[in-house]
Structure formats: structure tokens, C-alpha cells
Amino acid sequence: MSELPEIILRAIDGVLSEKRENMLHGAEYLLANAESPIEAAFHIALQSALSDSAYHAEIEARTQVQIGKFRVDFMLALRGQKFVVECDGHDFHERTKEQARRDRSRDRSLTSEGYVVIRFTGSEIWSDALKCAQQAVSLLEDAYYRHADAVWKAGGEA
């Protein structure tokens, strides 16, 4: 990469500084309203991953959604493809056999309602929240592509 003029570097620094301030204010709100810091971190990363998606204007993303008898951390939808994203902190998930059983039963119920369930551990989110969010968005997009391709091959419209 060639050396950029100082004015370009200053413009980039200014934009990034403003974005950082806006994100910090948003993070304070998210942390106050999220169930856990890992959910707030995932939410911040998800906003970035969604803005990078070719379908950013079409993807529905909601937090703390009631689906049947369950409240899920995140719900993502794109043209009929529905995903649930759960952020599993160590204290409430898979520390005991009962917690693991409850999560698996919940996943089966959500699957029967037409949702794909994705779970990220708190450690995964702590390590790289953006990578987790990008993976969730990518899986949603891939599910849509597979569905649209199958419909097209069958002679219908997606």
C-alpha cells in the first residue's frame, strides 16, 4: 500500500473517532438493557456485520424476542429464513446436565417452529464477537441462497 496523504489519514481518523464515540454511547445503553455483557457485545458486533451484508436492508434483527413459551436472545430473518441466536454464558448453560437438557429441548421446540438455532458460548463471543456475528449473518444468507436456488430449480420464485 502506498503512503497516503496526511489529509486522507486525518479524515479517516476523524470518522473513526466519531464512530467510536457513537458506539460507546450505544454500548452504554445496550449494557443497561441487555441480559448480560456478552449479549451487549454480540449486539454491537451484529450491527457491524449486518451493515456489511448485501441484504442489510432486508434482514430483520430483533433482540429479546418471545417465540412461543421462550424468550430468545436474538432473532434474525431474511425472506422466510428464520434464525435464533443464543449467547450462552457459562453460568446458565451446560454447567449441569439439567441445563444442557433444557437447552436441547428448547432448541428442538424452536426448530419445530421453523427456526434454525445457533449458539455461541460466552468464550467465543469474548474472544471475537464480530467473528460470531459475521458467522450468524453468513449462515442466514447461505440458508436464503440455498432456499432460493432450490425454488428456482423447481421453476418457482424465491
Task: List the one residue out of 89, 83, 91, 74 whose CA is nearest residue 124.
Answer: 89
Buried/exposed code over 17-34 (b: 16+ C-beta within 10 A; e: otherwise):
eeeeeeeeeebeebeeeb
Q: Does domain 37-153 have CATH number 3.40.630.30?
A: no
104: which 3 cell numbers? 436441547
| Per-residue model confidence (pLDDT) at position 96 | 73
For the beta carbon of residue 116, count every other beta carbon within 10 angstroms.
Answer: 17
| Per-residue model confidence (pLDDT) at position 22 | 78
| Per-residue model confidence (pLDDT) at position 95 | 67
Domain positions in the chain: 1-33, 37-153
Query: pLDDT tens digits for the chain (158 residues)?
Result: 678 888 888 888 888 888 888 777 777 777 777 778 899 999 999 999 999 999 989 999 999 999 999 999 999 999 999 999 999 876 555 567 888 888 899 999 999 999 999 999 999 999 999 999 999 999 999 999 887 777 787 876 65
| Per-residue model confidence (pLDDT) at position 156 | 66
Element (H, E) at 20: helix 6-33
